[in-house]
Amino acid sequence: MPRTLITGGAGFLGSHLCERMLQEGHDVVCMDNLITGDMDNIAHLIGREGFRFIKHDITEYIYVEGGVDYILHFASPASPIDYLKLPIQTLKVGSLGTHKALGLAKAKKARLLLASTSEVYGDPEIHPQVESYWGNVNPIGPRGVYDEAKRFAEAITMAYRNHHGVETRIVRIFNTYGERMRINDGRAIPAFMSQAILGEDVTVFGDGSQTRSVCYVSDLVEGIYRLLLSDYADPVNIGNPDELTMLQLAREVIDVLGGNATIVYRDLPVDDPKVRQPDITLARTLLGWEPRVDRREGLERTARYFMQKLRP
């Protein structure tokens, strides 16, 4: 039976990956220091055969008894509200944490999949973003702590593959949404939904013309799983290429919730990307993957979760 370690396993994406790997017949070790993760995300897995939780900061030495076949390295603050509040921790988990995870992969002869991000492209000058694009990142701006941590993580992952022969995979994750996102996450969909459900004004930054491409979590997990089992070592974009403006997304969220919330506008944050859209040609060609869940359906599922959280 394969054994998989998932760092950041109590987070939004990590908890869904814990479920998926258990479904695939893996023993799962979930590791998280709970700085942004939440035990509620994995409460239904505690006590399940083949599942174990370890509270640990992976910037320190990682010890896992016994064999490990796969490591899914998803530990990191991942929203602007988090990495602006936790800049040093974000840099440390991207650098020291990735180093420790790769060291464990080397010792255990495990395959490691790194959760990278579309933020490595920064405020892109190429649109849509293809994996060969090197990006346009401000290393000393407020978002640099996250962007550069992930860029370093990719570099050290490739170094371990090329120098030590560690089997590695790199997924560049574009905006993802779904159940278990935090209410106070700070990203667009949780913010829009929370505000609309609570009867508040819905806040759009800038004039709302900046674009994103949002992927439902089950689609993302499927792409990650296929990449993990593939033979491809270079970065692969996983995300939904269906691009829309933030104003359009806000209106869709309000419509899904059946409300009549007022949209208000605030100043655009520093270095906020103007566009974001993945080129998923590689994922389609190599993995036979593309998103399946319609955005309306995904938003409705997510809205039910947020309603339960905000109006139990």
Within a domain: residue 63? yes
23-29 average pLDDT score: 98
Q: Are residues 95 and 198 in the same domain?
A: no
The least confident of 56-60, 187-191, 232-236 is 187-191
CATH code for the domain of 200: 3.90.25.10
Identified catalytic residue from 70, 121, 146, 225: 146
pLDDT at 312: 63
Q: Are residues 154 and 263 in the same domain?
A: no
Task: Compute the distance between CA of residue 55 and CA of residue 15 in angstroms, rounded to an integer.
Answer: 14
Q: Are residues 259 and 148 in the same domain?
A: no
Residue 193 near residue 179, CB atoms below 8 Å: no
Q: Are residues 134 and 271 in the same domain?
A: no
Which residue matches tokens 């674009």? 211
Within a domain: residue 264? yes
Rounded to two decimals, the pTM is: 0.96
Q: Are residues 81 and 142 in the same domain?
A: yes
Q: Are residues 221 and 257 in the same domain?
A: no
Quote the domain boundaries for residue 247. 182-212+242-277+294-310
Q: Are residues 227 and 248 in the same domain?
A: no
Q: Are residues 55 and 172 in the same domain?
A: yes
Q: For the chain, what's the residue count? A: 312
**Residue 241 confidence (pLDDT) above 90:** yes
Within a domain: residue 207? yes
Paired tokens of 37: 């993760």
Q: Are residues 90 and 150 in the same domain?
A: yes
Of the pLDDT bands very low, low, confident and very high (cuts 50, 70, 90), residue 240 is very high
pLDDT at 260: 84
Q: Are residues 134 and 57 in the same domain?
A: yes
215-228 average pLDDT score: 98
Query: Is residue 146 flagged as an active site residue?
Result: yes
Paired tokens of 49: 């055969």
Task: Compute the distance between CA of residue 94 and CA of residue 146 in angstroms, rounded to an integer.
Answer: 8
How many domains does one find in the chain?
A: 2
Ordered DSSP codes for 139-192: TTSTTHHHHHHHHHHHHHHHHIIIII---EEEEEEPPEE-TT--TT--SHHHHH
